[in-house]
Amino acid sequence: MAPVPAIWHVIGGPRSKHGRGQQAGPRASARDDGTLQAEKTALAACARVAEGKVARVQASLANVENQLDRFRVMEFWDRVMREIFEFISAGCALLQAEILP
């Protein structure tokens, strides 16, 4: 996938016809320093936002994993109860030794 032109300046893509992200002339260095500082600040802000999103996604994943574990436990015990119901006929009582040989 090709990079989005709006973020080319962040990833070092073409900004001018003079080369990869470079401008011609003596004032280019001062201008680039200010631009780089602004980009650094913007990237730091984006990183903080991304870290917050990662934390929320991890918390959501942990919640879903807990729900899945509870669901598996409920399914297991439902299966056990169905097997016991099939094993013991209605109105019949069995001793523990008969159920678990």
The sign of the dihedral angle between the CA atoms of 32, 38, 43, 46 is negative
In a domain, residue 89? The reply is: yes
pLDDT of 55 reads 94
- Least Cα distance to 42 among 1, 3, 15, 11 occurs for 11
- Full domain range(s) for residue 46: 24-99
Cα dihedral 7→10→12→15 (10° resolution): 60
In a domain, residue 45? The reply is: yes
pLDDT of 25 reads 53
pLDDT of 90 reads 66
* Greater pLDDT, 92 or 16: 92
In a domain, residue 10? The reply is: no
Give the pair of three-digit tokens for residue 94: 């069995």
In a domain, residue 4? The reply is: no
In a domain, residue 68? The reply is: yes
| pLDDT tens, residue by residue, 8-67 | 454 555 555 555 555 555 555 656 888 899 999 999 999 999 999 999 999 999 999 999
pLDDT of 83 reads 83
Q: Which residues pair with 19 in a beta bridge?
A: 16
In a domain, residue 78? The reply is: yes
For the chain, the domain total comes to 1
